[in-house]
Structure 1
Amino acid sequence: MSNMLEDVKTRLKSLGVPISNEPNNQDEILLNFSIVKVTNHINNHTNLSEIPLGLHEIAVDMVVGEFLYTKKSMGALAIETLDFELIAKQVQDGDTNVTFAVDANNTPEAQFNSFIAYLQHNEVDFTRYRVMVW
Structure 2
Amino acid sequence: MLEKVRERLVSLGIALSNEPSSTDGFLLSFAVKKTTDHINNQTNLDAIPQGLESVAIDMAVGEFLFTKKSMGLLDVSSLDFSSVVKQVQDGDTNVEYAVDAKFSPEQKFESFIVYLQHNEVDFVRYRVLTW
TM-score by length of 1: 0.89
Q: 2:79 aligns with which of 82, 94, 105?
A: 82
Say how many residue pairs are matched. 127
> What is residue 7 of structure 1 aligned with on the other side?
4
**Once the 2 structures are TM-superposed, how far is the Cα of residue 24 of structure 1 from its aligned partner?**
1.6
Show the counterpart of 1:39.
36
Secondary structure of 1:103's aligned partner = coil
**Alignment root-mean-square deviation, CA:** 1.7
Name 2:13's counterpart in structure 1: 16
Match of 1:59 in 2: 56
Q: Which has the larger radius of gyration?
A: 2
Ranges in structure 1 where 5+ consecutive residues have no aligned partner: none
Which residue number corresponds to residue 120 of structure 1?
A: 117
- 1:39 touches 1:51 (CA, 8 Å); kept in 2? yes
Indicate whether 1:109 and 2:110 are aligned.
no
Q: 1:26 aligns with which of 23, 26, 33?
A: 23
8 Å contact 2:81–2:99 — kept in the other structure? no
User: Which stretches in structure 2 are left out of the alignment for 5+ residues?
Assistant: none
Post-superposition shift, 1:90? 4.4
Residues in 2 aligned to 1:26 and 1:90: alpha-carbon distance in whole angstroms = 36
TM-score calculated relative to the size of structure 2: 0.91
Alpha carbons of structure 1 residues 48 and 90: separation in structure 2 relative to 1, 3 Å: farther
**CA 1:129–1:108 in structure 2 vs 1: closer, same or farther (change >3 Å)?**
same
User: Sequence identity of aligned pairs in percent?
Assistant: 61
Q: Deviations over 1:20-56 (max 9, x none)?
A: 1111210010011111111110001000011111111
**Post-superposition CA distance 1:54-113 (Å, at most 9, x none):** 111100000000000000000100111110001112469xxxx97421332210000000
